[in-house]
């Protein structure tokens, strides 16, 4: 038996191979096809400017392209599936977009998906007994937040409908 054969190999197994380590997080996200047709909620478990590890019920294949919406910091990342291990998927970001800025027309569906995700999060909190004011505060769904979308310029009809629904929720709550 070799002298070092009994030594733990933790240093080798746990070594970070990325140029920039990822920050461990627990964030809500949305995975969506590049054409915007199929969206699925997911959990972002770690992230940096180059990629993320997510958990999702959606089945993905290596090299698939998807958008990952980070609902906390309101960004969308066009990404490729770089790794699949168990129920976890590693994404490599190709390009990132701030959803607070004006997007190209073909990407406006991302704003709709962001607003839908925030409304789902508020409703889920309310169903758990969280008061509306607290739920909207935690999710970041405020009048000022919604008004930022209006000043961006002309909006898709679906986005206008969602903004109206969100404002009604805040007003009636």
Q: Where are the domains of the chain?
A: 17-98, 105-172
pTM: 0.82
State the Cα–Cα distance between residues 14 and 132, nearest whole angstrom. 43
**10 pLDDT tier (thresholds 50, 70, 90):** very low
- CATH classification (class only), 17-98: mainly beta
Give bridge partners of residue 54 from the DSSP assignment.
Answer: 44, 89
For residue 17, what pLDDT is reported? 60
**39 pLDDT tier (thresholds 50, 70, 90):** very high
Helices 132-139 & 157-172, crossing angle to 10 degrees?
Answer: 140
C-alpha of 162 from chain center? 18
For residue 7, what pLDDT is reported? 44
Q: What is the pLDDT of residues 62-104, one digit of tens each?
A: 999 999 999 999 999 999 999 999 889 999 999 999 998 888 9
């Amino acid at each position: 038996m070799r002298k070092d054969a009994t030594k733990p190999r933790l240093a080798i197994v746990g070594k970070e191979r990325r140029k920039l380590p990822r920050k461990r997080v627990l964030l809500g996200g949305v995975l969506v096809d590049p054409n915007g047709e199929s969206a699925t909620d997911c959990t972002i478990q770690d992230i940096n400017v180059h990629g993320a590890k997510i958990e999702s019920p959606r089945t993905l294949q290596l090299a698939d392209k998807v958008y990952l919406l980070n609902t906390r910091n309101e960004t969308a990342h066009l990404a490729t599936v770089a790794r699949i291990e168990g129920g976890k998927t590693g994404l490599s970001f190709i390009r990132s977009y701030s959803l607070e800025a004006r997007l190209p027309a073909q990407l406006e569906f991302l704003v709709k998906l962001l607003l839908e995700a925030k409304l789902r999060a508020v409703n889920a909190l309310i169903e758990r007994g969280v008061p509306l004011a607290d739920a909207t505060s935690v999710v970041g769904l405020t009048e000022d937040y919604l008004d930022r979308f209006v000043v961006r310029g002309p909006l898709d009809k679906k986005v206008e409908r969602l903004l109206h629904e969100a404002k009604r929720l805040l007003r009636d709550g």
